[in-house]
Structure formats: C-alpha cells, structure tokens
Structure 1
C-alpha cells in the first residue's frame, strides 16, 4: 500500500508588527499554516499615543507590548527579530540580516517614517514622532528646555528656551501642541522658582490655510479655538524654509525656538525599492482591491505603505484603523484561499471616524458626516484608544494613568534620558 505524503505546509511571511501585520498574524494564528513574523523591534507599538509619552503622560512600556507575548499562544507563528534587507520575488525569498527566508505568501506591512520634503538635515533639530525613541527624545528636549531656562539669566535666551515650535497642523501636530501646552501650564507650573512655565510659548506652524485639513472646517475651527484657549499660537499659511539649533526660518521671518517638533509629513518604508516597482511621491505601493501587488504573485502590501482608493475615490488615510482592518481582511482571505474555500470579496474599509484630541476635555470626531466635539468627543476618543490597545495590562495601566493625570493635573513620567541630555549639551557647545 502506497503511503500518502501530506502536502507541504504553506509558509506565510509577514514583515512588520504594526497594526496591519499583527492583525494579519492573529487571524492566521492557530491555523494549519506556518507563519513567520519579522520585525526590527521586539514590541508592537501603539503609535497613536506616542505624543503622550513625549509629553510625560504615559511611560513607554504602557503603549508597547512584546510581540512574542501577544502571539505566544499561537504555536504556528514564529517571531524573528531582524532587519529586512530586500525581497527576491522570483525566488520567493526575504533577505533578513544576511540570511534568506523562503515564503509561499509574502505580506509587507512595514509602515512609514518622517518626510522632511527633501531636507533630511532638519531631522537633527526637529525630530518627528514615529518611535519610542522619538518620543523619549522629544520629552527630554522639552524638559531640558525648562531646566536650562531656570538657570538662564539673559531674558532673550530664556524666552527662546521656553519657545516650542510644532511644525505641521495635522492630527499629530494638533495633539502635540495641545499636550505640550498642558504640560507647561498644568504639570510644571509649580515646579520651578525662577521661571513660570505657564509663560512658555507653544507655536503651531502650518503651511496650509488652516489646521486639520482632513477634517470638516467646523471641527477645525473648534480645534483652533480650543488650542488658543490653552495658550497655543497658531500660524497658518506659514511654510518652513529652514530649521537650525536656534529656531525656525519662515517665509515671513525667524522664530527663535529651543525645541522643534516635526509633524508635517510621512514617507513610506522602502517596500517599493525592495519590490522594484514604482510608488507615489510618498513611497506608497499601489495595490489591487484584494491588497495584492499588481504584476507580482503572492505579494501583498498593507497599512501606511499601501495605496488604495476608498469609496470616495481618495486614497485611504494612514490610520491605525485602516491598517487593522486590512490585516484582519488579508488574514481571513489567505486562509480561505489556501484551504480552497471561496475568498472574500475586495477589501472594504469601514470608517470608525476620524479623531483628534485637542487637549484636556476636548477632542474632535468626524464620523461619516456626524460631527462631535468637546468633552463627549474626548470621552469617545479615550474609549476607542483603550479598545485598540493590545493587552489587558496595558489598558488598565493607561486608564489608571489617565485618571490620575485628570484628577491631579500631574505627569508621572517626567524623566530625562541621560543620553539625550548629553546630546543636547554637545549640540549647544558645538553652536557656541
């Protein structure tokens, strides 16, 4: 009697453990396919709350969860810590730290980084906010500015030290500007003896005619008023021409500022270069409605690095909820296809609303034409973010931290990282 040889187990390789990659892996968990998840960091990061780490509301560990812990119950998933160097679509291999990993299906969900619009040298002076390292660096720069101002005798230099410029009036810039203003006016106001942190100047710079261009105008107007109540200065129609250690050069003059925070643009990771295909100006890869790459078999691109039009004809936004839904969809589609079942139809994004928090008790939400603002929007924003956080422990810690900060107006994570503080001193000395 001839022994039947079971068919080989399909191997799915997922690159990136952000919202899209992790959601896809979780859908495939516990199945009879082999999954390898590759990321250059060992944790999944809840990026929408990075600004709260940068402004000392939360600690880094409260918005990050080890990937292995999240997926530990799924025996068919292997997690690898490594840097992807390229993809060979002909041989169906991913190159990771000098070794080749074969795949039957490849999912690329590597996210995006900062775009400085052709001025990479600006990153030295104006860090963006995409990683925990970015958040820690910004937090340290903000806190160090007040420490240095406390010792500064020259009023002009003290004013520069207490000026924080936030570049970009999208959700990231708006949330950061509001959080920095609250940090100065609520949390730090009693901590110093020679300066008044409430006099710190937070300036939000936007090249477009108004902030929050992706939101309806009435919500943008509300957000602008809320920011002004916090003491934030908003300058629209003001493109940045240069950034230095001393401040920001604008088309209408120079703004002295010790802290510059970049929130004006993003650029996709180098997936297009790995695949040898064209991308749009932001580096995104155009995908089919099933999230596959045109002209390439067994390759899928998700999240911030993908370009797919929504029902309104405009590209889907780079939001966590888009990435999460794409990951869930593709995981289900791959399982159905590999098992010989009918695959689901094309991906359809179901919006849960466009959200941005402006400050304490204040947020704006656009949900399919329904506009919500103020305290109700702020509460709903918090519920949505708690729901999306990975792990019960993280949710509990964040809720407790928020409650404490709300009741006491204090920030418990005001720690200055020594290596960043030393970097700032070196930069100051090098500029005289």
Structure 2
C-alpha cells in the first residue's frame, strides 16, 4: 500500500509540475518568431552549433533568450538526427517501462517559435582556418562555431569484444538488451544441463561507472521482477549479474559516500561487484577477466567513450579519448573564437581545477554558460570563467530503489527512486513526452512491464535505402 501511495503521489506531483511547465512553454512560444536558414546566411553574426544533444540545444536555447528577431545575430543548429535522445531515461526503455519514442524529442519542436534554425545533416569536416563546416547537405560558413558533437561507446581491441559484446548507448541498444535477456532465459529453459543453464543466466557488465552500475541494476531488476511473472521457474534458479571494473571502487569519479551506498544496495540485491578487474577476452560462452574466466553467454559493455572522428581530426590538442582540450572559457586555446562543450570537450573547472565529468548535467550547465558567454562576447564584454556547479548525483538501482545525493543530503531506497523520476521528468524538454512517460510509468507499475521482444530488421532493402537518402 505504501508503494502504491508513493506512485500516486508521484503522479499527482508530476501533474502539477507538468501543468506549470506547459503554461511556461506556451508563453515562450508566443514571445518568439522562428528563423529561416536564409536569414542565417544574411546575418551579421552567424553562430553555427554542431550537435543537438544536451550541450548543443541548451546553448541554442540560452542564445535564443539573449537575442531577438531584431538583433543582427542568427543561429543554425546542425545534427545528423532529427530527434534528441534523452539518455538519462534510456533505462526505462530497457526495463520495459517506457517506449523508445517516449525519450526521443523532435529537434524541430525546439525550433518552433524560437530564433534559430535546424539543419538535418551529417557533419563531415570542420575547417577551422577558413571558418566553414562541410556537411552532407553542403558547406556552411560561420562566424562563431560551437562544437557539441558528443561521444560514442568505444570498444577496445580485445579478443572477441567487438564480435560478442553488447553496447548500451541508443534506444535500439535498449531494445536489444531486452531481447538478449529474453533469448538467454528461453535458452536456459530449453537446456537440461545445469552448468549451461547457469551460463545462460549469468550476465556480465564491463565497466563500473554510472552506466555500468545502472545497467547491472536494470538487468537484475528486469529479469528477477519484470520477467518472473512469465518465467516463474526463475525463482528456483539463481540469476547472476556481475559488474567488472578496473578501478578500485565503483563510480570512481563520484562522491565516495555515493559509491559506498550504491555498492551496498547492489550487493544487497545479490549483484556481484568485481573491482580491480579487467575484461581480457570474450567468447560465445565465456568472459575472461584478469581474475579468472566467467561462464556466460552475455557481456554488456559500458566502459569508456570516444569523441567522433570529425572531432578527433581537428588540428588541435586532444585528450586520450579524442576530446578537445579547452580553456577556462570552453574555447580552443589556439582558436579562441571556437567553443567546444559536452563530451567533445576536455574541460576543467576554473574554481577547483578538477576535470568536468562527461555527463548530461555537465553538458546542460556548459550550454547555459556558453549561451550567456557568447552573447557577452558579441556585445563587447568579457565573460566570467566557467565554473561547474554540481547539482547532485542520481543513480537508479532497480525496482523502487536508488541512491541520490542533493547537496549534503544522501537519500536511498524509495525516496531516491522518487527523486530520480521527478528530476528527469522535469528535465525532459517536451510536455508531450512528460505526459507519455508519466502514463507509462504508472501503467507499468499497475499492469506490469513490457516483456515482449521487438526485433529491429535493420538489414532490409528499405532500411538501406533510407540510410542512403540520409547521407546524400
């Protein structure tokens, strides 16, 4: 009853906050006028934003607040996708509590009623010397560029890793995770060999950062809670979920108290934590680590990201993962009119000297800063150095449990779970998606989660034709 009341309370609070956000959004739409790409080319100051993720869009939205239609400033946002993936909520898709389209927001919805234009195209190259960008839709020149092209999961050159490991970065990956878990349970159900059955019911996660930890928790939760209704025999067969990380603790870049609390919650659920452990090789039936071989048919990879090639190819100083080193104003030191943020940047907090984490929270914060900083520069002023203000740390750890640190307060269990959902529900920049998510979360809590498989047939002739059209 307590959990049911918590869910109803979450829905009620969400409804009030959603209504407030809707009214604010309507007032903003009425106050702005959309811009065309033609006006971008004719403008006195052209700001070209590459990437429409958290960093790129937050920069565009903040710039929109700084300049109006009467200003001689135009903004063009370029992205290869026509939607923005709200990655913090990818877990709800993987656990059968939401649909992929619930966390995909059309980019042009941000353009509507605002003072910037969106171009759906792939960024092919960046010419810093001649101030132009080559895209799949042609060349675009700029006066001020903002590089916010993000990152993608990197697969080290380990035997069998690229062939057998499953990444987790996109909605397709989330659906494939569900498919894989169900496939393994079906295979375990068919075999009478106890060792083979256990191997199918053993899932290894490579990486003990935020992604790896939450991934392990979601896998355990979905198998033991989401699928248990369809596969009641699982009650008598232990499911092993193992987290393997090279660092000496999980969540190595987070607050130690958060890391310790998270480990306690995971281990209380039966999830095995192998710190100081590296994955060495993968086969169809085993995962070889620095501490031994684990019989398992499934490895999910969540360790490490790399910058896209177009960022790596820039003739500037790069970090080990290809990100660009930037100064205290998020500029490339050798090109002070070029700004880089988010996962594409290797930035340091000007107040503490610590590296900025590659998180959605940091990208949003940097985008808000850059929008104001660029406006200050255009008006002839000098912006303040960038300082990262950590609002908190949220970790979802399965069914109605989690860990949250807000300021000096640390929450665990159901309160942390509620905070996690409320924060991200308000952060997703679409009223429609907020309503869809709230409805799906409540329905999944009452009726149960989605336990069917969705197979994406990516190799069909029609799919290949669509890919060709997107790149021509």
Instruction: Output the TM-score relative to the length of structure 2.
Output: 0.81
Q: Which runs of 5+ in 2 are unaligned?
A: 1-41, 461-472
2: CA distance between counterparts of 1:197 and 1:269? Answer: 46
Q: Distance in 2 between matches of 1:272 and 1:24?
A: 18
Query: Number of residues paired by the alignment?
Result: 413
Name the residue aligned to 2:56. 21
- Separation in 2 of the partners of 1:207 and 1:59? 33
The superposition leaves residues 119-148 of structure 1 with CA deviations (integer Å, 9 ceiling, x where unpaired) of: 496233222222222222222222222223
Residue from 111, 116, 137 that aligns with 1:77: 116
Rate the CA distance shift 1:90–1:208 in 2: closer, same or farther, 3 A.
closer
Aligned residue number for residue 170 of structure 1: 209
Is this contact kept in 1: 2:48–2:77, CA < 8 A? yes
The residue correspondences of 1:76-225 to structure 2 (distance < 5 A) are 76-97=115-136, 99-119=138-158, 122-192=161-231, 196=235, 199-225=238-264
Whole-Å Cα distance in 1 between the matches of residues 123 and 276 of structure 2?
Answer: 40
* Deviation (angstroms), 1:399: 2.1
Distance 1:193 1:301, change over 3 A: same
Matched, 1:332 2:354: no
1:257 aligns to 2:292 (yes or no): no
Q: Against the structure 1 CA distance between its residues 413 and 110, is the aligned structure 2 distance closer, same or farther, given a 3 Å change threshold? A: farther
Counterpart position of 1:402:
441
Q: How does 1:209-358 map to 2 (within 5 A)?
A: 209-310=248-349, 311-338=351-378, 340-358=379-397
Partner of 1:209, secondary structure, is coil
Give 1:157 deviation, angstroms: 2.3
Match of 2:449 in 1: 411
Tell me, in whole angstroms, the C-alpha distance in 1 between the residues paired with 2:225 and 2:265: 16
Could you tell me the TM-score, scaled by structure 1's length? 0.88
Name 2:422's counterpart in structure 1.
383
**SS of the counterpart of 2:354?**
coil
Shift in CA distance, 271/355, structure 1 to aligned 2, threshold 3 Å: farther
Q: Report the equivalent of 2:85.
A: 45
Structure 1: segments with no counterpart, 5+ residues: 1-6, 423-432
Deviation readout 1:280-327 (Å, 9 max, x if unpaired): 112121112221111114211010111121233210111111111111
What is the root-mean-square deviation in Å for CA atoms of aligned residues? Answer: 2.4
Give SS of 1:159's match: helix
| Cα 1:22/1:279, change in 2 over 3 Å | same
* Cα separation, partners in 2 of 1:200 and 1:416, compared to 1, 3 Å: farther
Q: Secondary structure at the match of 1:298?
A: strand
Which residue of structure 2 aligns with residue 62 of structure 1? 102
| Residue aligned with 1:364, SS | strand
Q: Deviations over 1:13-56 (max 9, x none)?
A: 11111100011111233544222211111111111122222232
User: Counterpart of 2:161 in 1: which secondary structure?
Assistant: helix
- Structure 1 distance, partners of 2:265, 2:423, is 21
Q: Deviations over 1:234-266 (max 9, x none)?
A: 222221111222221012321122221111212
Distance in 1 between the 2:368 and 2:236 partners?
A: 45
Indicate yes or no: 2:431 matched with 1:392: yes
Query: Which has more helix, going by share of residues?
Result: 2
In 1, the alpha carbon distance for the partners of 2:436 and 2:147 equals 31
**Distance change >3 Å, CA 9–CA 197, structure 1 → 2:** farther
CA contact (8 A) 1:59 1:413 kept: no
| 1:330, distance to aligned residue in structure 2 (A) | 1.2
